[in-house]
Amino acid sequence: MTQELTEELLAKSHWLDNSKSYWTEKDLKWAYSLYNRITGQNKKDTGCRSCRKQVVDFLKRKYRDIKNTQNT
C-alpha cells in the first residue's frame, strides 16, 4: 500500500477505530473508493449490507495493521 493511501486511511482513524456505527452514503463512497484503490478492484456499492460490511471491515483491518506496525 502506498504512503498516500496509508495517510488517507490514518486520516479517518476516528471512523475506523470501531466508534463509527452509522455510515452515510458519502462515507461509503469514500470507503469504496479507498478499498478499490488498495485492492485494485472496481467494487461498487449496491446497497448490500454484507458487501458494505466487508468493505468497512477490510479498511478497519488495514487500519489496525498499520497501527500495530507503528507501535512495534
Q: Digits of tens for pLDDT over the chain (72 positions)? A: 899 999 999 999 888 987 788 899 999 999 999 999 999 999 999 999 999 999 999 999 999 999 898 876
Residue-level pLDDT at 35: 98
Task: Report pTM.
Answer: 0.90
CB atoms within 10 A of CB 21: 5
